[in-house]
Amino acid sequence: MAHVRLIDRPRGLLRRYAWRYSRRMSGSVVEPVRAAAHHGGVLLAAGAIEMAAARGWRKVDARLRHLVIHAVSVAVGCSWCIDYGYYEGAQLGIDVAKLREVARWRDSAVFDERERAALEFAEAATVTPAQVTAELAGRLHRFFTDAELVELSAWIALENYRSRFNAALGLRSEGFSDRCGLRPAA
């Protein structure tokens, strides 16, 4: 159960726009938007970064980017983000086996060396304090340009924000993975 009341009806231009954008992106007004609507500044800032990222952060392949984002939500343990991540991954056409194996990427045979480096980066950057070693950075440079590493870092930071915001407010799975017939792994 959410730790704040979720707003049902938007008041004001900003909130009405957020409701419309959320419906267009996910088919419904998602709980993170309904929670953030209590604070216009938070809602505006979150919406601005989401729109900027969606339109301007395109150096990294969308499927790899999604695996990295999903790894962060798994590491943080945000059930809302994990659920939505399965749904969004299915919409992107990501192999179901990869979505299910993100939490076990070290032992899974479904990831290639580039994906493994990116998933390790996601985990290392998510722990507190971040533990991105010089050795890991060297391996990452074998697969990614500086611009791609900057973008991956930004996606990792953004998903940490999303996951921690949702988890802190008690937001739980809304059943997105059910819509695509994909059940998250236990």
Confidence label for 153 from pLDDT (cuts 50, 70 and 90): very high
In this predicted structure, what is the pLDDT of residue 175? 86
* pLDDT exceeds cutoff 70 at 11: yes
> Tell me, what's the pLDDT at 79?
93
Token reading at 14: 């900003």
Residue range 92-112, pLDDT digits in tens: 999 988 998 999 999 999 999
> What is the pTM (predicted TM-score) of this model?
0.93
**pLDDT tens digits for 32-86?**
999 999 999 999 999 999 999 999 999 999 999 999 999 999 999 999 999 999 8
Provide the CATH number for the domain formed by 62-179 in this structure. Answer: 1.20.1290.10
Please report which confidence band the pLDDT of residue 126 belongs to, taking 50, 70 and 90 as the band edges: very high
Determine what percent of the chain is predicted with pLDDT higher than 70: 95
pLDDT value at 182 more than 60 = no
Give residue 16's pLDDT band: very low, low, confident or very high (50, 70, 90): very high
Quote the pLDDT of residue 1: 87
Kindly report the backbone phi and psi dihedral angles of residue 57, in degrees, each rounded to the nearest multiple of 5, phi listed first: -100, 85
Which pLDDT score is estimated for 142?
98
Considering only CA atoms, which of 186, 176, 17, 161 is closest in space to residue 76?
Answer: 161
Dump strand ranges (E) for the chain. none
What is d(CA 39, CA 164) in angstroms, rounded to the nearest whole number?
Answer: 17
Check pLDDT > 60 for residue 5: yes
Q: Report domain extents, the chain.
A: 13-56, 62-179
d(CA 5, CA 16) in angstroms, rounded, equals: 18
What secondary structure, in 3-state letters, does 34-70 show?
HHHCCCHHHHHHHHHHHHHHHHHCCCCCHHHHHHHHH
pLDDT higher at 90 or 113: 113
Torsion of CA 81, 85, 86, 92, to 10 degrees: 170
